[in-house]
Amino acid sequence: MPHPRQDETHMTTELPWRRILLKLSGEALTGNAGFGIDAEVTGRIADEIGDVVARGGQVGVVVGGGNFVRGSQIAASGLDRVSGDHMGMLATVMNALALSAALAVRDVPSRVLSALAVPAVCETFTQRAALASFEAGQVVLFAGGTGNPYFTTDTGAVLRAVEMGCDVVMKGTQVDGVYSADPKTDPSATRYDHLTHREVLANGLSVMDATAIALARDNRIPVIVFSIGEPGEFVAVASGNGRATLVTVDDAPAA
C-alpha cells in the first residue's frame, strides 16, 4: 500500500489514501434482523467514518439498497424490472438518509446527493456540488447508484470514484476479501491478499460485478474488498492495515 502523503493543499494526512470512496452494501446497515436499518449498526459505521475523517481522510460513500429491495428480485417475482430497479434506487436513498442522520448526531458534516432526483428529500447529484462538499470537509453520501436501471451500486461506486478523483474504492461487504470461489457456498475457497483487475475478471471472481471492475481497471482505480461487519475494519483498512484483498492494475501487456 502507498505511504502517507500530503495532498495538494499541503494538509498532511496520516492515511495512505487522501480521498476514499467507501461502497457499503445495504446489508451492512442491517442488524440481526437481516432486513432494513439497525440504528446501532449504522451508528457504529458512522463512528468509523468520523474516525477516518478525523485522521485527515475525505470520504465519499455509495450505499447499496439490498437490505430493502433489489431490482432482480422484483423481476424474478414476475414484476417489471425497471420498476424494481427504481425501487432499489429509492432504497439506497433511504439508507443514505439514515447514514447522514447518524453522522449528524456525531457532529460529522455530510451531504446526501442522489443520482435519482428526489428533490423533496435531498439534493440531486452534480459533480460540481459533490466536489465542493469534499473541499468543505463534508462526507458525501452518493445515493441512487448511477441513476439508471440495470446497473448496480458497485458500478455507481466506481463511477463516482472516477468522477471525484478518488484514490481508492473500498468495498465493505459481508466477506473479508476476494476468494477463489464464493466462500459462503464453497468452504474450500482460499482468500487472496492481492489481485489485479484482470485476474478478477478472467477468473470470474464475482465479489463485485464485472462492469464495476472493468471501469476501475480502465481508470486505474485500486479496489479494496473488506468486511464491513467487522468492527474497526474500515478504519484499519483506510489506515493501510486490516484484513482485505487489494486489487490493483496490471501493467503487463496482455498475453
Ligand X SMILES: Nc1ncnc2c1ncn2[C@@H]1O[C@H](COP(=O)(O)OP(=O)(O)O)[C@@H](O)[C@H]1O
User: What is the closest distance, in whole angstroms, from the C-beta atom of residue 79 to ligand X in the complex?
Assistant: 21
Burial of residue 8 (CB within 10 Å: 0-12, 13-18, 19+) is: exposed
Pairwise CA distance, residues 147 & 98, whole Å: 19
Bridge partners (DSSP) of residue 227 are 173
Give the interface segment with ligand UDP, choosing from 10-18, 142-150, 197-205, 228-236 (CB under 6 A).
Answer: 142-150
Q: Is 71 in the site for ligand UDP (CB under 6 A)?
A: yes
CB contact at 8 A, 171 and 223: yes
174 annotated as ligand-binding: yes
Is 85 flagged in the annotation as binding? Answer: yes
Q: Which secondary-structure segment (H or E) carries 71?
A: helix 71-76
Choose, by CB under 6 A, the member of 57, 66, 71, 242 that binds ligand X: 66
Give the C-alpha separation, 24 to 29, whole Å.
Answer: 8
192 assigned ligand-binding residue:
no
Q: How far is the CB of 97 from ligand X (least distance, A)?
A: 19
16 annotated as ligand-binding: no
Is 23 a known ligand-binding residue?
yes
- Member of 4, 13, 27, 101 binding ligand X (CB under 6 A): 27
What is the pattern of x (binds ligand X, CB under 6 A) and - over residues 207-246?
x---------------------------------------
DSSP string for residues in 73-140: HHHHTTS-HHHHHHHHHHHHHHHHHHHHHHHHTTT--EEEEESS--TTTSEEP-HHHHHHHHHTTPEE
Q: Does the protein bind ligand X through residue 7 (CB under 6 A)?
A: no
| Residue 219 in grid coordinates | 481508470
> Which amino acid is located at 226 in the chain?
F
State the nearest-atom distance from the C-beta of 171 to ligand UDP, in Å.
Answer: 9
Total binding residues toward ligand UDP, as defined by CB under 6 A: 24
| Residues at the site binding ligand X, with contacts judged by CB under 6 A | 25, 27, 64, 66, 154, 173-175, 178-179, 181-184, 205-207
Summarize the annotated binding site for ATP as residue ranges: 23-26, 66, 70, 173-174, 179, 182
